[in-house]
């Protein structure tokens, strides 16, 4: 995602906002994962839950991101 943002976004404000969203989502995941691991559900549920959580953006990107190969500025 870092490479895609650096190649596509030409505005510094848009790049900052996209990186902010990425960092906030990683912060939320890191804050709540320790509580979930130590809770009743255990490590397996957290591992598979975060894996499924990461598949949602993959499906979104698959259908919505455009190919950058051959594009020039």
Q: Domain range for residue 41?
A: 2-64
Number of domains in the chain: 1
Torsion of Cα atoms, 27 then 31 then 56 then 2, to 10°? 20
70 located within any domain: no
73 located within any domain: no
26 located within any domain: yes
11 located within any domain: yes
Torsion of Cα atoms, 55 then 59 then 61 then 66, to 10°? 150
pTM above 0.85, yes or no: no
Quick: pLDDT tens for 20-72.
Answer: 888 898 898 888 878 877 888 778 887 888 788 889 988 988 888 877 777 66
20 located within any domain: yes
């Amino acid at each position: 995602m870092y490479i895609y943002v650096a190649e596509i976004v030409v505005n510094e404000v848009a790049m900052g906002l996209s990186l902010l969203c990425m960092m906030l989502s990683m912060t939320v995941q890191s804050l709540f994962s320790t509580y979930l691991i130590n809770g009743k559900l255990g490590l397996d549920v957290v591992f598979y839950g975060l894996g499924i959580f990461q598949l949602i953006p993959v499906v979104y990107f698959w259908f919505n991101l455009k190919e950058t190969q051959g594009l020039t500025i």
